[in-house]
Amino acid sequence: MMNGGKSAMAIEEELKAIAEDFSGEYALYAEHLRTGEVIQFGDVERPRETASVLKLPVLVAALWQCQQGERTLSDILVYEPSDYVEGSGVLQHLTLGTALPLKDVLTLMIIISDNVATNMVLRTIDRDRVNACMRGLGLRVTQVVRNISFQNEKQGQPLGLSTPKELTQLLKALYRGEILTGAYREVALDILSRQQYQTLLTRYLPYELVSTEEEEPPLVRVLSKSGSLRGIRNDAGLVLTPWGDYAIAVMSERSQDQRFHPDTEAHVVLPRASRAVFQYFCRPFPPQVIPARKDDA
């Protein structure tokens, strides 16, 4: 799986133990962006439902079109009746005809996972062009299958498809400026840093390292996009640390706990996997400052 001797064996055993504690199935792929060291668990190349993680490729594709000069971040998008959908976000509660700059709509799409905002962006930039942008990055699976609507959910048609490995590759390309450069790359990273759903990748990271309560920026920053559907919890992001940065994606499905609740099973069990990756990649950090939790020791 990777180099690192007993430490590598230990994390592999830990990820297996997490799988045994989870009623569903999960896969994880993480890559240290300086050393290239990889941690993986499960089938990291099987196409899976993205849920709202599909908003990550939509963000990248929209900013790529801006970078190409096809549109600008100040372009005005108007909330039309065809954009309406329930679920996460606030625009569904606002007045039809509400107009916002593209940058603001992208921000709502990511930081509060606004579904109406996503449909507005997809109508503007074209779903097929999002998928073409992903193909251009060499991502064979990652795609937006349809606009966000829950009418087709029972028929099993996914919102989007990707794999933990491809999501990590997309994040790596973003981090390295291989698709977005300059101000557009910075806009993408800034928006991802503001996501308000911190229930998976961030939840069990050491609080004193990720806390933003002080005036100084936190030592560890998580720039991510999560996604939830019944029995599905996903999260993909960049973790920026003083000990090196890494990209990580966790995708899960078939959890027997299908509640939309902060303490649904996936949000209690799977953050342990994110913490295990953090502790491995940031192992020069004094271990006593990475506290164990009583509920999953």
Percentage of the residues of the chain whose pLDDT score is greater than 90: 76
Superfamily of domain 6-296: DD-peptidase/beta-lactamase superfamily (3.40.710.10)
Q: Is the pLDDT of residue 281 over 50?
A: yes
The DSSP secondary structure of the chain, one letter per residue, reads --S-THHHHHHHHHHHHHHHT-SSEEEEEEEETTT--EEEES-TTS-EE-GGGGHHHHHHHHHHHHHTTSS-TT-EEE--GGG---SSSSGGGS-TT-EEEHHHHHHHHHHS--HHHHHHHHHHH-HHHHHHHHHHTT-SS-EE-S-S-STTGGGT--SEEE-HHHHHHHHHHHHTTSS--HHHHHHHHHHHHT-S--SSTTTTS-HHHH---SSSPPSSEEEEEEEEETTEEEEEEEEE-TT--EEEEEEEE--S----STT-HHHHHTHHHHHHHHHHHTTTS-GGGSPPPGGG-
pLDDT bucket at 6, cuts 50 / 70 / 90: very low
Specify the pLDDT at position 14: 94
pTM metric for this prediction: 0.91
Q: Is the pLDDT of residue 289 over 80?
A: no
pLDDT in tens, 211-262: 866 667 888 999 999 999 999 999 999 999 999 999 999 999 998 888 888 8
Specify the pLDDT at position 260: 80
Q: Is the pLDDT of residue 155 over 80?
A: no
pLDDT in tens, 166-222: 999 999 999 999 999 999 999 999 999 999 888 899 999 988 888 866 667 888 999
Residue range 142-147: mean pLDDT, rounded: 95
Q: Is the pLDDT of residue 48 over 70?
A: yes
